[in-house]
Amino acid sequence: MQLYDQLPEQPFTGREPSQWDNDSRVKLRASRVHEHIIGHGEADPQQVEEIVQSGGNRGLFTVLRGIDWALAHINPFTPAFDHGKLAWLAARYAETGRLNHGAPEAEGALLPRCSYPGRPRGTRDKSGFFGLHRVTAESWVKVRHERIMPRHQPHFRPDQEIPVGCAPLLETFDEIRLDFTERDGESVYTLVPVESGSLRKRITSVIDRLDDSEARIAVIPEATLTDELLSYWKDAAYSTAGRHKPLRWLLVGSGPLGGDDPPPNRAVLLDRWTKHDLLIQDKLAGFTLTAEQASEWNVPDRPVNGSAAEYITRGSAITVGESSLGRLAIVICEDLNQSVGWEREAVACGISHLLVPIFSKPIIRFRWEQIASERQIANLGAWLIIANSLVVQRAMETKPQNNEWYTCLIAGPGDPDRTRYRYDLQFGLAKAGDDLAETLSKEDLALPAVRTAVFHDRWLGGGRKDAT
């Protein structure tokens, strides 16, 4: 981490690092650094000092290349890895979710890479040359990093296809309490699901349908959760859990949880086997509902003064979960659109999966959901699971053209070789609150799927296999 910080950014604005990357002398010396680390479990300080002093910035790059190659052996997101003499470091990552121990001389974090920008490889910044993420202290302080322990997660393999269940749950505005009022001279609104016996019965039906499917992960939309419903989800999911049932993780939507005024709009990802809260995320960006949108959506009531702001206490950090699926984060509806509040930290950490519950009009091709997804695929190489309810679609008087609309979008990189712009876009449709969205796959309807995190060293360009 110290050496990485010493290597300046300026050379990476030009072609010099690409020349280093293809220099046989750099590869040879980097291979020697790599071999020493693999053989002894640590770098040779004398060897490192000699390379750095004789090579300047190129020397720093050379040593970092060798360290990077060595630490690839303990990256769990590579198709094959062997701990060897680095078992102590692999154990640290398994326990803490990061490779460093938090020494004051190198604050922040060092994380194994589990994704790579989903755009054609070409001009790269400094981070793009390495299979590790050096997260600065400035970015790390804005991240709530959590290691999802093995007892709370399935054991996914790198680059595995995982079926996903997305159920709309809510169907009409009758199942939503949407209240407009004034606070501090502003028009605001609250959005809360109406608790009822029929809604709880529908939650039970959703869990049954998920268990009858091949889904291993489920995502429920925004504005579907209260403290009481969260408790019901936990009890219903836990009481029906079984080792023979593939479903393990449920993002049970979001809503006003806790007793604060205003409350957060909080999403919760559960482990159904233990009722454990795996990730908790408060919405970072409030949504403003305009009069035009209220009219288009045929909202039963209207803002007091033209437009209304979402009445919530906004979150201040993005929660990042380290798991065998990948490096997860949750962003809630408007957060995906207003990514400035979390995107830099997501890039710094190398997020591989974004779970996105939304409350919006129907998902349509080429609209904001797809545009925002393609941005995150290009910048992060991430997979996104976007889930919407049926509420606004049922209320709108003007239906989408050709009646082509969807309740979920699963999106991720479409080119594993990173040679072109290509996106894997799976638009899914569910027509009832307890239905699971399906997408057309090979002329048959099936659940959409994401792929688990993976890292290929070929994405970095020159590799140790080319060293002579």
Cα dihedral 322, 376, 373, 157, rounded to 10, equals -40
Percent of the chain with pLDDT over 70: 98
User: Could you tell me if 60 and 168 lie in one domain?
Assistant: no
Q: Among 113, 141, 169, where does a domain finish? A: 141
Radius of gyration of the chain (CA): 24
- In the chain, how many domains are there? 2
Same domain, 131 and 204: no
Residues 241 and 362 in one domain: yes
Question: What is the model's pLDDT at position 392?
Answer: 97
> Residue 299: how many CB atoms within 10 A of its CB?
20
Residue 461 lies in a domain: no
Same domain, 157 and 205: yes
pLDDT in tens, 337-366: 999 999 999 999 999 999 999 999 999 999
User: Are 188 and 224 contained in the same domain?
Assistant: yes
Domain hosting residue 22, numbered range: 2-141
**Rounded mean pLDDT of the chain?**
95
Report pLDDT for 30: 97
**Together in a domain, 351 and 445:** yes
Instruction: Mention every residue, 6+ apart, whose C-beta is less than 8 A from residue 293.
Output: none
What CATH code is carried by the domain that includes residue 172? Answer: 3.60.110.10
429 inside domain = yes
pLDDT of residue 416: 94
What is the mean pLDDT of the segment spanning 195-215?
98
Confidence of residue 463 (pLDDT cuts 50, 70, 90): low
DSSP 405-423: -BSEEEEEES-TT--S--E
Residue 468, domain member (yes or no): no
**What pTM, to 2 d.p., does this model score?**
0.96
Residues 130, 81 share a domain: yes
Positive or negative, the CA dihedral 1, 454, 413, 391 is negative
Tell whether 162 and 283 lie within a shared domain: yes
Same domain, 240 and 383: yes
Segment 383-408, tens digit of pLDDT: 999 999 999 999 998 888 778 999 99
Q: Where does the pLDDT of residue 465 fall: very low under 50, low under 70, confident under 90, or very high at 90 and above?
A: very low
Query: Has residue 286 got a pLDDT over 60?
Result: yes
Do 373 and 227 belong together in one domain? yes
User: In the listed set 92, 124, 141, which residue is the last one of a domain according to the structure?
Assistant: 141
Domain's final residue, options 82, 114, 141: 141
pLDDT at 467: 45
What is the rounded average pLDDT of the residues 35-44? 96
**Tens digit of each residue's pLDDT (9 = 90 or more) over 94-140:** 999 999 998 888 899 999 999 999 999 888 999 999 999 999 999 99
User: What does the pLDDT average to over 301-319?
Assistant: 92
